[in-house]
C-alpha cells in the first residue's frame, strides 16, 4: 500500500486547504478532502504550507569546523587552518559531520544540498539515512605542478561504484574545486567526462579579487571567460560565489545558461566581495542560493541566507528595490529544482512532495500582510514546524529522530580536532 499523508486546514496561497500526499507526490489539493491516510496533520489554520529550500552550494561536513578559524581572508583561512584540519578528517568523521549538517538543514527547512567535500561515500550514506536529497560531487584538486590528487581518484572511484544503488534522491556532480587548485589539463578532462555523463559541473568561480587578478595575469581573461574557453560553461554548470563579475561575465553566464550559486553570508564574512545580484537577475542569469560551509558562514540556515541575499543586493546596487522578496524566495526554492531536473519547488498536484509547515502564530510571522516578505526578512528557524521530503515526514513539531546521538558523536569528533588546532 502506498504511504499517504493528509494535511488538513493548512494555509496555502492565502486560503485554508486540505492537501493529500500519496507516495512521494502531491495527489490532491482541495478545500475539503474526505480521504483516509496513514498520517493526518491538522494545521488548524495556524500552519502555512510552503515549498522548502534547495541549498545550491555547501560543504556539509564543515559543521565540524564551525568556529575553528574566523575573521581572516580566504587564502590565509584555507591554507593555514582549513586544509590542514580537513587532512585529519576520517571517513567516519565526515559521515557524522554530514549528519550534523543535515540535522541543521532539516531544522532550517532545507530538503536538498549541492555538496562538495571529501570522503563522498560517507556523505552519501548520511544523506540516504537521513532521508534528504543531495548532489554529491566527484571531487578534484591537483597536486601543485601535477595531476589530480590520488586520494581524490580513489574516493571518486568508490563513489562511482555506488551510483547504481543510489536512491532517486541522490544526484552526482563533477566538482573541480576551483581554477587555482585544478590545472587546465585536468579541467578539460573533467569537462568532457561531465558532458559524457550529462552531469552537473560544480565549481568555485570568481570568488575573490585575487583569483580574478591571477587568472588575468596567467590567461589574459577573467575566470568566467577562462571556464568558457574550456567548455565548462553551460546549463548544467553551477558557479559558486561569483563575487567579482564584469558586465561581460554576466552576459556570458546568461547566454550559456549557467547557474550562479549566491553565498552572501560567506562572501561577506571572508570579505570576498559582493555579488551583483540585480544586474545578473536583470540579464536573465539563473540564480540559486547556497550557504557555503559552516567554517565560513557559520550556519546552514537558508532563511538567514535569503535575508542577507536581499540586503546585500540592495547595498551593492544602491537600490532598495533590488533583490526583492519574490526574486530571493524563487532563487532559494526553484532554481535548484530546475537545474537537477527535480519536479518540485512548488506545492501543486503531481509535483514532488517536498514541503514545509510554517507557524503562522509565531511572533516573527505577524503582521501577516505578506508571507513571502516575512520568510525573507523576518523569520528564523523557529518558525518551521514540520518538514516533508519525498513524501516522508522528517521533522514534526520540531522533533527529529536520532538527534541526540548525532550531537553526541560530533562533540567527540570536535574535541579531537580542537586538540590539534593552531594557537
**pLDDT per residue over 197-235, tens digit each?**
999 999 999 999 999 999 999 999 999 999 999 999 999
pLDDT tens track for 161-178: 998 899 999 999 999 999
Predicted confidence at residue 2, as pLDDT, reads 82
pLDDT at 124 over 80: yes
pLDDT tens track for 294-309: 999 999 999 999 999 9
Residue 237 counted as domain residue: yes
The Cα 154–Cα 150 span in angstroms is: 6
Residue 148 counted as domain residue: yes
Predicted confidence at residue 103, as pLDDT, reads 99
Q: Contact 185/216 with Cβ under 8 angstroms?
A: no
Closest alpha carbon to 118 in 142, 145, 144, 137: 137
Across the range 71-80, mean pLDDT stands at 92
Q: Contact 302/110 with Cβ under 8 angstroms?
A: yes
88: exposed, middle or buried (Cβ count in 10 Å: 0-12, 13-18, 19+): exposed
The verdict on 83 and 13 lying in the same domain is: no
Number of separate domains in the chain: 2
CATH classification at residue 367: 2.30.40.10
Predicted confidence at residue 163, as pLDDT, reads 84
Predicted confidence at residue 420, as pLDDT, reads 87
The Cα 382–Cα 297 span in angstroms is: 19
Percent of the residues in the chain that have a pLDDT greater than 70, as a whole number: 100
pLDDT at 57 over 70: yes
125: exposed, middle or buried (Cβ count in 10 Å: 0-12, 13-18, 19+): middle
The Cα 53–Cα 342 span in angstroms is: 13
The verdict on 59 and 34 lying in the same domain is: no
pLDDT at 423 over 80: no
pTM value?
0.97
Predicted confidence at residue 422, as pLDDT, reads 86
The verdict on 290 and 197 lying in the same domain is: yes
Residue 418: half-sphere exposure toward Cβ, Cα within 13 Å: 8
pLDDT tens track for 321-335: 999 999 999 999 999
Expressed as residue numbers, the domain containing 40 is: 4-51+344-395
Predicted confidence at residue 13, as pLDDT, reads 96
Residue 406 counted as domain residue: no
Predicted confidence at residue 1, as pLDDT, reads 62
CATH classification at residue 216: 3.20.20.140
Q: Is the dihedral of CA 120, 126, 129, 134 positive or negative?
A: negative
Amino acid at each position: 500500500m502506498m504511504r499517504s499523508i493528509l494535511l488538513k486546514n493548512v494555509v496555502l496561497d492565502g486560503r485554508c486547504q486540505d492537501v493529500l500526499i500519496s507516495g512521494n507526490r502531491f495527489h490532491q489539493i482541495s478545500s475539503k478532502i474526505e480521504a483516509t491516510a496513514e498520517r493526518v496533520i491538522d494545521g488548524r489554520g495556524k500552519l502555512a504550507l510552503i515549498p522548502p529550500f534547495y541549498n545550491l552550494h555547501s560543504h556539509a561536513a564543515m559543521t565540524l569546523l564551525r568556529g575553528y578559524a574566523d575573521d581572516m581572508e580566504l587564502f590565509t583561512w584555507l591554507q593555514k587552518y582549513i586544509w590542514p584540519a580537513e587532512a585529519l578528517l576520517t571517513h567516519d568523521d565526515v559521515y557524522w559531520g554530514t549528519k550534523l549538517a543535515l540535522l541543521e538543514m532539516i531544522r532550517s527547512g532545507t530538503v536538498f544540498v549541492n555538496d562538495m567535500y571529501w570522503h563522498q561515500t560517507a556523505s552519501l550514506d548520511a544523506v540516504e539515512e537521513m532521508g534528504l536529497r543531495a548532489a554529491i560531487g566527484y571531487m578534484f584538486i591537483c597536486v601543485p605542478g601535477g595531476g589530480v590528487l590520488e586520494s581524490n581518484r580513489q574516493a571518486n572511484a568508490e563513489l562511482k561504484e555506488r551510483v547504481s544503488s543510489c536512491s532517486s534522491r541522490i544526484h552526482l556532480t563533477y566538482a573541480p574545486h576551483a581554477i587555482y587548485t585544478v590545472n587546465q589539463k585536468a579541467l578539460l578532462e573533467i569537462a568532457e567526462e561531465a558532458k559524457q555523463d550529462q552531469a552537473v559541473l560544480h565549481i568555485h568561480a570568481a570568488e575573490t579579487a585575487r583569483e580574478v587578478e591571477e587568472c588575468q595575469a596567467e590567461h589574459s581573461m577573467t575566470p568566467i571567460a577562462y571556464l568558457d574557453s574550456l567548455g565548462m560553461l553551460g546549463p548544467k554548470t553551477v558557479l559558486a560565489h561569483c563575487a567579482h563579475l564584469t558586465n561581460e561575465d554576466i552576459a556570458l553566464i546568461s547566454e550559456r545558461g549557467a547557474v550562479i550559486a549566491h553565498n552572501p553570508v560567506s562572501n561577506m564574512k571572508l570579505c570576498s566581495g559582493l555579488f551583483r545580484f540585480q544586474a545578473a537577475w536583470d540579464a536573465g542569469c539563473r540564480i540559486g542560493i547556497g550557504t557555503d560551509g559552516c567554517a565560513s558562514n557559520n550556519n546552514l540556515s537558508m532563511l538567514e541566507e535569503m535575508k542577507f541575499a536581499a540586503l546585500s543586493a540592495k547595498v551593492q546596487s544602491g537600490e532598495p528595490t533590488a533583490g526583492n522578496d519574490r526574486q530571493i524566495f524563487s532563487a532559494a526554492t526553484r532554481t535548484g529544482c530546475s537545474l537537477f531536473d527535480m519536479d518540485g519547488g512548488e506545492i501543486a498536484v503531481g509535483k514532488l512532495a517536498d514541503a514545509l509547515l510554517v507557524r503562522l502564530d509565531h511572533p516573527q510571522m505577524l503582521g501577516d500582510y505578506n508571507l513571502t516578505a516575512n520568510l525573507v526578512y523576518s523569520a528564523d528557524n523557529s518558525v518551521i514546524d514540520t518538514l516533508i521530503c519525498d513524501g516522508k515526514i522528517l521533522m514534526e513539531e520540531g522533533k527529529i529522530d536520532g538527534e541526540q546521538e548525532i550531537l553526541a558523536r560530533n562533540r567527540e569528533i570536535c574535541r579531537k580536532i580542537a586538540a590539534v588546532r593552531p594557537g
